[in-house]
Structure 1
Amino acid sequence: MDDGYRVDVTTVVAAVLFLAGIALVVWSVEHFVEAVARSAVSLGVSGFFLAVVLAGVDLENAILGITAAYGDLSSLALGTVFGEAVFVLAVAVGVAGVLMPFETRVPRSYLLITLCVPIPMAALSLAGTLTWIDGALLTLSFFPLLLLVYALERRASTRYMVAEEVEEVIGLEEEAAEGSTSSDGEDSRGSWYHLGVAIAATVGMTVGSALAVRGAEGVLTAFGLSGLAFGATVMSFIASLEELFLTVEPVRQGRPEIAVGNVVGSTLFYVTANVGLIALIGPVDMGGAVLTVQWPFFALALVLVVAMFYRGRVGRLEGVALLALYVGYWIANYL
């Protein structure tokens, strides 16, 4: 009985560490993004470009993945990449479609980029393992993609959002972090304040990711779970909840362009820099369930969402189909 009690206590402690770590990472990342965004507004960059960078670049997932990889849990790290990618495509877009069917006219160039961007990762995965060289190539490929989006946004024929919408993107980031509507007034706090917030948030991200990975390791040991499956489902689901807000809320406000920016930016980041940074730390096994579960569900979700955006409408039927796909994804991970 004492042994069973000790196991139960250990499991509970591990679960609490995991949840507390995830919460601290998410909170820290959102405050870090807000602090950086306040400095970026003055640059007058395209709103869609800023949405791709601020909403799409998922720092918490990257930090959790890197910390897991350093802890010799590369399968857990890879699971978070695929899991969050599928979550953004299937759950975030699906819920938005079910609650508030929306129409959007996405420039074809962005749809083509989003559809083709996983190809390098898929090609490098054919060898069965991603090496540090593959990781370097994938990480470096993210920056030309950002420059491409920036260049397209500077052209009137492909511009998707105007500069005045930058404040809306930042406002949504603030609401996701604080659960309240941002003020329309100017932020009178100085740059030193925002620098301090960014530094404090960086410390929070580091501590939170360490706690989350330590807790996840304890949960995996206690229940005998696969790191890949756990990362792709439980860990990515909890860490991705703010992605749901950043997709649904813009649609509710009649600004689906911001939601599309989140989807496009997230997809670009997950399959380039995110998985690349993990591979830089250590070899990543791309065989087994990665080929039979992760890639097929991710590819299907991506094709469906791109097809919906191409058609220009995401309705309730499409939303239900995406949510059903995500349910199937969870089931497939544990079969």
Structure 2
Amino acid sequence: MDFLLIIAGLVLLLAAGDALVRGAVALSLRLGVPAVIVGATVVAFGTSAPELLISVQAAIEGSPGIALGNVVGSNIANVWLVLGLPALITPIAGCGKDAHRNLWFMLLSTAIFTVLLLPGTIWWWGGLVLIGVTALMVADSIRHSMEMRAINGEASEEIAELEDVDPDMPSWKILGLITASLIGLPLGAQLLIDGARGIASEFGVSETVIGLTLVALGTSLPELATTLMAAIRAQADVAIGNVVGSNIFNVTFIIGAAALVGPMEVPHEILWRDNWIMVAAALTLAPFVLTCRRICRVAGSIFLLLYGAFLVFAVVG
């Protein structure tokens, strides 16, 4: 039954998150918000909505292991699984548009997150620091994108095309999508957390382990599916940018928002083990981006072995 709750929660979260992105993007374009701003804010925040609701709900219910485990485990999975598995199909370019700048943002945000973990509790002011990093990243993304548009003389509307959103979507449909998302997101988060707690209790493992493995893997499935399909179509070169952006939002916006709900005690295993594995995962990506090397099949295989070792270590360690 608990596994069914988790599956139902994940399906509901993914469907509601997609509805939120489509509805919010259509509304923003209808209101005349430039596509570049929509991409840096509405789309980015909307696609992080499922993870956000899980972590905030878990923080409210006093389950920091699920909240932090979801983020740390997702960031590890994003690098070693989401990039490793598609690399077996086709090599993934390690250097794309703005890759260097975004990589440094990811390493900086990971370092700040690590420093905030060290006292053993993330307080409200730490949440503000992380939210501030998110704001800086979004502002920089908007500034850089506008500069590039001015140089290239392009008025790109690729956001609407990418998200399969009709700028002329009827008002009733926009309202319906947003309403459905606002109902589905918290309900899906609650179902997933209840299922995770039940499994933790039934199998005698900590909520942190469930957050690091089952919950984190579930919330990484959309990125994995998208990257796999891109690899099959030989278009996986955008994968690294997606992973880096997701990892930044996870440790800044999501944990920042959860910390504003109340102090988050850091589980011992995350403080002294899993966070450092997350740091190692981020660093393994750096050489490919900084040297513009492709993630080949050998590297992809190593990434998958590292992720498998992490899962085993998290469960039995």
Q: TM-score range by the shorter chain?
A: 0.7 to 0.9
Matched letter for residue 20 of structure 1: A
> Which residue of 2 is the match for residue 272 of structure 1?
252
**Residues in 2 aligned to 1:191 and 1:220: alpha-carbon distance in whole angstroms:** 43
> Which residue of 2 is the match for residue 284 of structure 1?
264
**Residues in 2 aligned to 1:158 and 1:288: alpha-carbon distance in whole angstroms:** 49
Matched letter for residue 33 of structure 1: V
**Residues in 2 aligned to 1:95 and 1:282: alpha-carbon distance in whole angstroms:** 37
Matched, 1:50 2:39: yes
SS in 2 for 1:72: coil
**Residues in 2 aligned to 1:287 and 1:201: alpha-carbon distance in whole angstroms:** 31
**TM superposition shift of 1:252:** 4.2
Matched letter for residue 119 of structure 1: A
Render the CA deviation track for 1:229-287: whole Å, top value 9, x for unaligned. Answer: 11010111122211112333344445445423321221111111111122222322335
**TM superposition shift of 1:33:** 1.1
Matched, 1:166 2:155: no
Matches within 5 A, 1:111-150: 111-150=103-142
Render the CA deviation track for 1:19-72: whole Å, top value 9, x for unaligned. Answer: 21222111111121122223345644349x827863575211110111111111
Equivalent pairs, count: 309
**Residues in 2 aligned to 1:155 and 1:211: alpha-carbon distance in whole angstroms:** 44
**TM superposition shift of 1:154:** 2.3
Render the CA deviation track for 1:50-109: whole Å, top value 9, x for unaligned. Answer: 278635752111101111111111111111011111111111111221112132434322
Q: TM-score, normalised by structure 1?
A: 0.83
Match of 1:87 among 70, 74, 77: 77
Give the alignment's Cα RMSD to 1 decimal: 2.7
Render the CA deviation track for 1:183-237: whole Å, top value 9, x for unaligned. Answer: xxx5653133112211111101111111221222222111111111110101111
Inter-CA distance 188–167: structure 2 relative to 1 (3 Å threshold): closer
**Residues in 1 aligned to 2:151 and 2:205: alpha-carbon distance in whole angstroms:** 46
Matched letter for residue 50 of structure 1: G
**TM superposition shift of 1:131:** 1.2
Query: For the Cα contact (< 8 Å) 2:24–2:42, is it kept in 1?
Result: no
Query: Structure 1 residues 263-272 or 291-300, which shifts more?
Result: 291-300
Query: For the Cα contact (< 8 Å) 2:92–2:237, is it kept in 1?
Result: no
Matched, 1:318 2:299: yes
Query: For the Cα contact (< 8 Å) 2:88–2:300, is it kept in 1?
Result: yes
SS in 2 for 1:154: helix
**Residues in 2 aligned to 1:52 and 1:169: alpha-carbon distance in whole angstroms:** 15
Query: For the Cα contact (< 8 Å) 2:9–2:188, is it kept in 1?
Result: yes
SS in 2 for 1:21: helix
SS in 1 for 2:81: helix
SS in 2 for 1:163: coil
SS in 2 for 1:247: helix
**Structure 2 residues without counterparts, runs of 5 or longer:** none
> Which residue of 2 is the match for residue 333 of structure 1?
314
**Residues in 1 aligned to 2:24 and 2:239: alpha-carbon distance in whole angstroms:** 20
Percent identity reads 24
Matched, 1:195 2:175: yes
Q: TM-score, normalised by structure 2?
A: 0.87
